Amino acid sequence: MPLNPQILLDNRPVGEAMASNFKLVSSETPPLQDGQVLVRHHFLSLDPYMRGRMNEGKSYAAAQALGEVMLGGTAGEVAQSQNPKFAVGDKVVGMGGWQEYSLVNADEPGALHKVDTTHIPLSAYLGAVGMPGVTAWYGLVKIIEPKPGETMVVSAATGAVGSAFAVLAKARGCRVVGIAGGPDKCAYATTELGMDACIDYKLHADASSLSKALKQACPDGIDGYFENVGGMVLDAVLTRMNAFGRIAVCGMIAGYNGAPLPLSYPALILVSRLKVQGFIVSEHMEVWPEALKELGGLVASGKLRPRESIAQGLAAAPEAFLGLLKGKNFGKQLVQLI
């Protein structure tokens, strides 16, 4: 059995997460038991939600245990199998964590899924055709419920979730405006993802300035907003929401280091009769088949061309993750292991 390099959560962050919170070790891979599969990971998924799990406080998911392999999505292939449902060489996705191999009890429901890489790259199953894509689909279709001609806004617009949201919304006849950091990301948003406009938040020092830019980009106001950021961005968007607008709250990355995120004008939720709903996509597994079918078709047809930032090697995962939290990634952040 192969030696298995792993990254553990060694200690919890105090404020900002640091590379010293993680520890690289190697362990022996135990022999397979009946029903188990050994997966060789090709890609690890790095996602903002992982930062919340590093804390010990109350959250929507259990805290990451200290001294254990960091949790996270993986895509790879079956290296060894003692399960008749999986053959050596099968391409699979699961939650193998930050390590080169995972030993999976493949009979457990949802533990491991075969994927077809004929028309869809393996890495896409961790992004546009995986959890981030379904997150965008659920927020748009089930919470915002867009109508043709409405204006949709999405923050973190060029990330794995934001890019899928934009293409899904355009397919439903909406005007789509992104908020992203930097001219390169905004150019990608309009030229590759088909957004009608993209606002560079780095050009705006406060919510008032950003609100003015939103007014120009959204002359008819905002009907639906997909929230990934919080803070100043949410304050600015709230001032431009139309009556009976809908906000799907997916993430609040501006507050992941523990700082409070007060709202400047919470009364606008009442004045504009807004629907504001947070959601966790893993609580809505019933929609995944429908969502993945549409997302897979968009990627296979080239209508959705997701951008990826790829760090090389397991040891690069902590710094790549910390960069993700600061917006240094361009598109879906992955770590390539093979």
**Would you say residue 314 has pLDDT above 80?**
yes
At 229-287, the pLDDT tens digits run 999 999 999 999 999 999 999 988 877 766 788 899 999 999 999 999 999 999 999 99
Give the per-residue pLDDT at 270.
98
State the Cα–Cα distance between residues 29 and 314, nearest whole angstrom.
Answer: 17
Residue 127 phi, psi (nearest 5): -130, -105
Q: Which of 181, 245, 241, 247 is nearest to 211 (CA)?
A: 241
**Contact (Cβ atoms closer than 8 angstroms) between residue 155 and residue 227:** yes
Architecture of the domain delimited by 131-282: 3-Layer(aba) Sandwich (3.40)
Looking at the predicted structure, is the pLDDT value of residue 328 above 70?
yes
DSSP 142: I
For residues 75-89, b (16+ Cβ closer than 10 Å) or e, as one string? bbbbbbbebeebeee
Mean pLDDT for 213-228 is 98
Q: Does the pLDDT value for residue 60 go beyond 80? A: no
Which pTM value belongs to this model? 0.90
Name which of 139, 193, 200 is nearest 170 in CA terms: 193
Count CB atoms within 10 A of the CB of residue 233: 25
Determine contact, residues 335/42, Cβ cutoff 8 Å: no
88-99: pLDDT as tens digits: 999 999 999 999
Q: Above 80 in pLDDT, residue 57?
A: no
Mean model confidence pLDDT for the chain: 95
For the segment 218-239, the average pLDDT, to the nearest whole number, is 97
pLDDT of residue 259: 75
Highest average pLDDT, of 46-50, 58-62, 238-242, comes from 238-242
Rounded CA separation 114/90 (Å): 7
CATH number of the domain at 3-127+306-336, out of 3.90.180.10, 3.50.50.60, 3.40.50.1100, 1.10.150.20? 3.90.180.10
Per-residue pLDDT at 58: 66
Give pLDDT, residue 59: 67
Residue 220 scores a pLDDT above 90: yes
**The pLDDT value given to residue 56:** 83
Other beta carbons less than 10 A from residue 244's beta carbon: 10
The whole-number average pLDDT for the span 66-78 is 97
Q: How many CB atoms lie within 10 A of CB 114?
A: 12
What proportion of the chain, given as a percentage, has pLDDT over 90?
A: 88
Q: Measured in whole angstroms, how far is the alpha carbon of residue 125 from the centre of its chain?
A: 12
Give residues with Cβ within 8 angstroms of 62, minimum separation 6.
Answer: 53
Q: Round to whole Å and give the CA distance between 76 and 94.
A: 9
Q: Do domains 3-127+306-336 and 131-282 have the same CATH topology?
A: no
Mean pLDDT of 115-138: 96
CA 151 to CA 224: how far, in whole Å? 6
Task: Kindly report, residue by residue over 6-17, the tens digit of the pLDDT.
Answer: 999 999 999 899
Residue 292 pLDDT greater than 80, yes or no:
yes
Residue 301 tokens, joined: 């047809």
Domain range summary for the chain, segments of one domain joined by +: 3-127+306-336, 131-282
